Amino acid sequence: MTPTLDHIADLAVQVGPPVTVGKTAEGLRRVIPILGGTIAGPRLNGIILAAGADYQVIRDDGHTTLDARYVIQLDDGSMVYVVNTGVRFGPPDVMALIRRGEAVDPAKVYFRTTPRFETEAPAYQWMTRPLFLASAERHPDCVRIKVFQVG
């Protein structure tokens, strides 16, 4: 059976300046603070708390692996822990602009993630089992993420 994608929400994640750890055996290690944001869509609405970060490794060719961990507070007060891992890559000149915090055309960058959700809220247990896929765009002060449930 061919999988389907069901749009559940859009996130606008506000991010702070990167903290550069330095060049490690894995690549350039950076930590991007998550400052807050919003989540809005057909199945989820709320805010992103200033309680998390995106832990990145950037290889010399610009290929970036991401491991973002943060907390969402839904409109009804339910709390959701998010682990969102993914990859981002594109032409070297475009990736250099992103590293410098400059604006880029999102169409020139492949940026996909696989969010996972944890919550104790009974109304949102549906989020804790299936796979989710997201398409993302990096902007100078935020990351925009469209989240889909894989059916």
Out of 41-45, 95-99, 127-131, 144-148, least confident range: 95-99
CATH fold group of domain 5-150:
Porin (2.40.160)
pLDDT value of position 97: 87
pLDDT value of position 58: 94
pTM of the model as a whole: 0.93
Q: State the Cα–Cα distance between residues 13 and 63, nearest whole angstrom.
A: 21
Across-strand partners of 106? none
Q: State the Cα–Cα distance between residues 13 and 145, nearest whole angstrom.
A: 8
pLDDT value of position 99: 82
Judge whether residue 30 has pLDDT over 90.
yes
Confidence of residue 11 (pLDDT cuts 50, 70, 90): very high
61: left (phi over 0), alpha (psi -120 to 50) or beta: alpha
Q: Indicate the helix (H) or strand (E) that contains 96.
A: helix 92-99
pLDDT value of position 107: 93
pLDDT value of position 114: 98
Q: pLDDT tens, 94-111? A: 988 888 888 899 999 999
